[in-house]
């Protein structure tokens, strides 16, 4: 353990022992002969006493010396010790969120019992929802994205710097061949296309990088857009000098938070390279300035880049908040197996507002009126390469309305599996100023909920489950009201 944590644990134990013996700091000072200010510094984890002073405190407090210096905390403070010894505070770069580790240590030292209760609550919630270490780190990165409106100008500038250094024309679609040449000639990569297919268990992997020999192994089934994205991520790792990184795509596991954060940086760089900001804005301007929504024009904008629909929608979450000041938006990715009737939310991002949905850990039924789910059903039946739809969704329980654009594609690595990508834009005065086509009466409007269990829509023909959660809430409200009436009646 680091020295600061050892000091903190000793200080927590001393304070606990002193409190249990009903001693004030002044009282312990009189008992031990040590100054009140010095004891206060020890309890705050700022100083660690020398052995002779520990021995004296042990004698005066009638506590064994070994117990005093042990790093083991009793059950009342054990969760704090677990957090400190796990080095979780070291794994997460707190400075990203403007937090100093020393400030957290001060909070722990000043109110250990309350902090312990808080940590215990977080642990209990995490266990209840099966919230893994990976989920925690991914949630931290997502919060970091949200705090910055998912726009990182330093990475945008690095893309421009790279394009100039390697003479990449950002006004034209970037081919994978151009990026492959840079990886081979500049960074000494060896690229092999037929190795991963030899191992059935690796069927879901797109790529594996072997750092020792700089060998990049690619899956057989990847298309041009996927290949370009993988190459662009590898270039990002080299050009941005990222050392602590993940070596598979998609990732299998990671050792620390930096790997997760660096994976996000590399992905952002790749998206910004393949879908340059200036080009995307020019494409979006054409779509936004029309009085009616032109689906063909929107699809043309999507196809103007050598990128997948998912990369395109992800890139919208970077550009819309920055270039158009559209900051109230969400991004969702669902997966669906044909004829299964089940839909899984695999990825989400929410900017500015805590948008719906937020029930993916509750095993509830997502609203079947969502365009995100309908495009999945359509593509599983029609077998088209790409299914697109647009919808104005009025969340009846949240008093909010969103414009939703959604695309569905087949998963090239799994039979009968499909995925949809959606972006939702909160309809307000700002959006109305930026998107002239919002008044288009041909865009269908749908009353929606979040999950069936929490939806108040009556006589819904696609409801999958009764509104049990809503019924419980209504019942509790009625009980509270009757109790209030009874209190007034018998006061």
Alpha carbon distance 393, 404 (integer Å):
7
Predicted TM-score of the model (pTM): 0.79
Please determine, for residue 84, whether its predicted confidence score (pLDDT) is greater than 70.
no
* Helix spans in 324-428 (H): 371-382
Indicate whether 39 pLDDT > 70: yes
Six-digit token string for 317: 């979450």
Peptide bond before 230: cis, by omega within 30 degrees of 0? Answer: no
Tokens of 230: 């993988």
Q: Band of the pLDDT at 205, cuts 50, 70, 90?
A: confident
Longest C-alpha distance within the chain, in Å?
87
Work out the end-to-end distance of the chain between its first and last CA atoms, rounded to an integer number of angstroms: 59
Over the stretch 211-228, which tens digit does the pLDDT of each residue have? 999 999 999 888 999 999
**What residues does 404 pair with on adjacent strands?**
391, 424
Checking if the pLDDT of 162 tops 50, the result is yes
Closest listed residue to residue 291, CA positions, set 440, 470, 90: 440
- Residue 451: DSSP 8-state: B
- Across 240-276, b (16+ Cβ under 10 Å) vs e yields bebeebbeebeeeebeebbbbbbbbbbbbbbbbbbbb
Instruction: Specify the pLDDT at position 118.
Output: 66
* pLDDT above 60: residue 239: yes
Give me the pLDDT at residue 198, please. 86
CB 462 within 8 A of CB 377: no
pLDDT of residue 154: 96
Triad 61, 33, 35: Cα angle to 5°: 110
Whether the pLDDT of residue 259 is over 60: the answer is yes
How far is it, in rounded angstroms, from Cα 181 to Cα 191? Answer: 10
In this predicted structure, the answer to whether residue 359 has a pLDDT above a threshold of 50 is no
Query: Chain-centre distance of CA 315, in angstroms?
Result: 16
E strands, 231-370, are: 248-249, 329-337, 343-351
How far apart, in whole angstroms, are the C-alpha atoms of residue 82 and residue 11?
16
- Residue 8 has a pLDDT of 81
């Amino acid at each position: 353990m680091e020295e600061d944590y050892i000091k903190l644990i000793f200080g927590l134990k001393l304070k606990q022992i002193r409190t249990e013996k009903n001693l004030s700091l002044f009282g312990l000072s009189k008992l031990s002969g040590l100054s009140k200010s010095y004891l206060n510094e020890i309890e705050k984890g700022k100083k660690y006493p020398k052995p002779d002073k520990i021995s004296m405190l042990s004698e005066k407090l009638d506590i064994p010396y070994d117990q005093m210096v042990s790093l083991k905390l009793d059950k009342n403070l054990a969760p704090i010790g677990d957090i400190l010894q796990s080095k979780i505070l070291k794994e997460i770069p707190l400075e990203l969120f403007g937090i100093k580790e020393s400030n957290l240590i001060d909070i722990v030292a000043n109110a250990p019992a309350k902090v312990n209760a808080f940590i215990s609550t977080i642990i209990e919630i995490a266990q209840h929802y099966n919230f893994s270490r990976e989920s925690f780190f991914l949630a931290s990165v997502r919060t970091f994205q949200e705090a910055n409106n998912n726009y990182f100008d330093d990475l945008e500038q690095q893309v421009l710097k790279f394009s100039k250094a390697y003479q990449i024309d950002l006004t034209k679609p970037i081919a994978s061949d151009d990026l492959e040449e840079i990886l081979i000639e500049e960074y000494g990569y060896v690229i092999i296309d037929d190795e991963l297919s030899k191992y059935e268990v690796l069927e879901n992997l797109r790529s594996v990088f072997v750092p020792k020999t700089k060998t990049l192994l690619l899956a057989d089934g990847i298309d041009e857009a996927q290949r370009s994205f993988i190459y662009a991520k590898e270039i990002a790792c080299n050009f941005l000098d990222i050392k602590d990184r993940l070596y598979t795509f998609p990732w299998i596991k990671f050792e620390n938070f930096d790997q997760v954060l660096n994976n996000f940086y590399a992905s952002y760089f790749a998206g910004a390279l393949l879908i340059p900001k200036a080009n995307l804005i020019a494409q979006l301007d054409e779509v936004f300035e029309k009085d009616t929504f032109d689906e063909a024009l929107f699809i043309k904008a999507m196809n103007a880049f050598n990128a997948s629909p998912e990369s395109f929608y992800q890139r919208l979450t970077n550009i819309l908040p920055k270039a158009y000041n559209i900051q109230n938006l969400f991004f969702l990715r669902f997966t669906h197996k044909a004829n299964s009737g089940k839909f899984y939310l695999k990825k989400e991002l929410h900017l500015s507002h805590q948008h719906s949905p937020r029930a993916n850990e509750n095993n509830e039924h997502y609203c079947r009126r969502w365009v995100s789910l309908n495009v999945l059903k359509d593509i599983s039946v029609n077998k088209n390469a790409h299914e697109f739809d647009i919808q104005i969704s009025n969340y009846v329980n949240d008093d909010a309305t969103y414009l939703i654009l959604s695309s569905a594609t087949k998963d090239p690595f799994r039979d009968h599996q499909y995925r949809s990508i959606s972006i939702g834009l909160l309809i307000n005065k700002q959006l109305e100023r930026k998107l002239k086509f919002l008044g288009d009466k041909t865009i269908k409007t749908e009353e929606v909920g979040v999950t069936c269990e929490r939806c108040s829509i009556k006589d819904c023909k696609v409801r999958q489950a009764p509104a049990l959660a809503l019924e419980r809430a209504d019942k509790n409200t009625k009980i509270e009201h009757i109790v209030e009436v009874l209190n007034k009646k018998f006061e």
